[in-house]
């Protein structure tokens, strides 16, 4: 499924895989303390934006998460650090900080994904 949605969005399947690994540990029924749900840990507003009917359906979560990731890569002109920061902390936070925000969790999130992705 990861390969299929990544190809459909025109993004690297390894990147989608590492985001899913980091977000949920590949657990489709994961729920974060902040309310993010599913494999790609999408917040309810993001689920609505991408018309996700069931956030715990792995395919719907992967499709929406991949679309979000693609839109962030486009917004930040392919800059992986900024796109991943925005996936984690929100694009408004990234825009206000002018780069990767000085949030320990976000910095660790970006570093963890990039370390595995770039190997």
Provide Rg for the chain, Cα atoms.
13
Q: Is the dihedral of CA 65, 71, 77, 83 positive or negative?
A: negative
Q: Which of 38, 111, 36 is nearest to 81 (CA)?
A: 111
- Exposed / middle / buried, residue 45 (Cβ in 10 Å: 0-12, 13-18, 19+): exposed
By CB atoms closer than 10 A (0-12, 13-18, 19+), residue 55 is buried
Identify the three-state secondary structure at position 37: strand
CB environment 2-31: b (16+ within 10 A), e (fewer): beebbeebebeeebbbbbbebbbeeebebe
CATH code reported for the domain at 2-117? 1.10.530.10
pTM: 0.95
Catalytic machinery residues: 23
Task: Give the Cα-Cα-Cα angle 50, 65, 74 (nearest 5 degrees).
Answer: 90
Along the 119 residues of the chain, how does pLDDT read in single tens digits?
Answer: 999 999 999 999 999 999 999 999 999 999 999 999 999 999 999 999 999 999 999 999 999 999 999 999 999 999 999 999 999 999 999 999 999 999 999 999 999 999 999 88
DSSP label at residue 24: H
């Amino acid at each position: 499924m990861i390969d299929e949605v990544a190809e459909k969005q025109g993004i690297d399947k390894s990147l989608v895989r590492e985001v899913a690994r980091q977000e949920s540990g590949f657990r489709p029924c994961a729920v974060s303390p902040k309310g993010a749900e599913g494999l790609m840990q999408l917040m309810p507003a993001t689920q609505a934006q991408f018309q996700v009917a069931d956030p715990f359906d792995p395919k719907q979560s992967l499709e929406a998460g991949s679309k979000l990731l693609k839109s962030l890569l486009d917004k930040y002109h392919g800059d992986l650090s900024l796109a991943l920061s925005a996936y984690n902390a929100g694009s408004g936070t990234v825009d206000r900080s002018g780069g990767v925000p000085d949030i320990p969790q976000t910095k660790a999130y970006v570093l963890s994904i990039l370390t595995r992705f770039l190997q």
